[in-house]
Amino acid sequence: MAFWRIFHKRRIFKKLYPKNPPQSIVDYLAFNMKKGPVTIKDIARELNVSVSTVSRALADNPLVKLETRIAVKELAKKQNYRPHFTALSLRSNKTKTLGIIIPQLVHEFFSMVIRGIEDHAYANGYNVIISSSHESYDREVLDTKALINGRVDGLMACISKETKDYEHFKEFVDRSIPLVFFDCICDEIEAPKVVLDDFDAGYQATKHLIQQGCSSIAYVGGPINLLINRDRLAGYNKALSEANLNTKDDWIIHCDSGDYEEGRQKSESLINSKEIDGLFAATDMLAIGAMKNAKKAGLKLPEDLLVVGFSNWSIGSLYEPSLSTMSQPGYEMGLKAAELLIRQIDNPEQTITETFVLKSELIVRESSMTD
């Protein structure tokens, strides 16, 4: 068949049929009916042009003739072609993916952070992959290792409560993979950071209790290896000393997990002692644990004990009495973190190391009302 003889002469033919060039119409059709996702090559074959032409046509490159461009785009649409993500990444050495490492998923604050990150990322053509460390150091290390093989263009991390060693993050710096910390940061590593002004928040909360007439104020906080908890405590101390109020060692309780059950257990004897008339907790759940104890001990809330929590969890407004708390602008934090990260990815030469500080606001509810 003259057709095949002529056809076989063209180099493009060999290119498009690399292994066993079809020798008959039947072969040819069989080859073209292959399964699997449609590639640029399939389109090229169908239209008898080269892959480069197809690639350019899809990019609307004016170098290729208008009618070719149209034909290619039509066929691509008809066969609903999608560029192969992995191939693109390999070629460009960019995954257009941002990694997030957070300690917990079921957390209203982190959820808002993620939403902020997603919004900024999607708006800039990035995808997001989330790893939850479940507050475990080992899992955090595993997650960072899984993300370091060129799988993400950059990483945003909030370290877990267990984390005291930061080697796994240093590797990102060594490989110059952009890294941004948010909320629970690690100050040993040079990287942009987005944090809440926890010192000021602790100060505001305590000052509010003082203004409401409390004079013996306790603090129930989270793990002290986290900077945020040291800051909240420092704010608490500042407010007290400013008002010439004293505290006692027994009135300062450090919890490991910060959840309800731990708060209940660790604050029980303090509440039962009835020495205090105000309590600032670094977590809404800790606050609720303490309030449960107070109710059990026969205290009236808020008459006998004023309480302020932290994070503005929705449970706080449902509890009785509803819980006063400090807001955490999670959405803004996520937005800012994503913005910093993407800026660093786009400009690898200039390294940002600033720390951005967001303000917390007091939300007054029944648990700290005196009227």
Span from 59-67, 190-198, 314-322, 332-340 in contact with DNA (CB under 7 A) = 59-67
Neighbours of 148 (CB within 10 A): 17
Site string for DNA, 270-309 (x = CB under 7 A): ----------------------------------------
In sequence order, which ranges of 297-367 are alpha helices (DSSP H)?
Answer: 314-318, 330-346
Among 11, 26, 33, 167, binds DNA (CB under 7 A): 11
Using rule CB under 8 A, residue 149 touches its own copies: yes
Using rule CB under 7 A, residue 176 touches DNA: no
CA 64 to chain centre: 42
Picked from DNA, its own copies, none, the partner binding residue 63 (CB below 5 to 8 A depending on kind) is DNA
Site string for DNA, 93-122 (x = CB under 7 A): x-----------------------------
- Residue reference for tokens 């303000």: 359
Q: Residue 261, class by beta-carbon neighbours within 10 Å (0-12 exposed, 13-18 middle, 19+ buried)?
A: exposed
Q: Residue 149, class by beta-carbon neighbours within 10 Å (0-12 exposed, 13-18 middle, 19+ buried)?
A: exposed
Among 8, 65, 78, 296, binds DNA (CB under 7 A): 65
**Nearer of residues 11 and 35 to its own copies, judged by Cβ:** 35
Q: Residue 209, class by beta-carbon neighbours within 10 Å (0-12 exposed, 13-18 middle, 19+ buried)?
A: buried
Picked from DNA, its own copies, none, the partner binding residue 315 (CB below 5 to 8 A depending on kind) is its own copies
Beta bridge mates, 353: none
Span from 38-46, 211-219, 276-284, 304-312 in contact with DNA (CB under 7 A) = 38-46
Distance set, CA 263 to CA 68, 72, 286, 300, 302 (Å): 69, 64, 4, 19, 18
Q: Which amino acid is at 34?
A: K
Distance CA 217, CA 279 (A): 5
SS (H, E, C) 66-80: HHHHHHHHHHHHHCC
The tokens describing 307, both together, are: 């309480």
Among 7, 22, 68, 148, binds DNA (CB under 7 A): 68
Q: Give min distance, CB of 71 to DNA, in A.
A: 9
Output Rg (C-alpha) for the chain, integer angstroms.
30
Picked from DNA, its own copies, none, the partner binding residue 19 (CB below 5 to 8 A depending on kind) is DNA
**Nearer of residues 148 and 173 to its own copies, judged by Cβ:** 148
Picked from DNA, its own copies, none, the partner binding residue 5 (CB below 5 to 8 A depending on kind) is none
Picked from its own copies, DNA, none, the partner binding residue 39 (CB below 5 to 8 A depending on kind) is DNA
Residue 175 phi, psi dihedral angles, 5° rounding = -90, 10
Distance CA 182, CA 159 (A): 8
Using rule CB under 7 A, residue 79 touches DNA: no
Site string for its own copies, 94-113 (x = CB under 8 A): -x---------xxxx--x--
Q: How many residues bind its own copies (CB under 8 A)?
A: 43
Residues 6+ positions from 9 with CB-CB distance below 8 Å: none
**Nearer of residues 168 and 193 to its own copies, judged by Cβ:** 168
Beta bridge mates, 278: 217, 306
Residues of this chain that interact with DNA (CB under 7 A) are 10-12, 15, 18-19, 36-37, 39-41, 48-53, 55-56, 58-59, 63-66, 68, 81-84, 87-88, 90-93
What is the contact surface with its own copies in residues (CB under 8 A)? Answer: 35, 37, 80, 82-87, 89-90, 95, 105-108, 111, 114-115, 118, 122, 127, 129-130, 132, 134, 142, 146, 148-151, 171, 175-176, 260, 288, 292, 314-315, 318-320
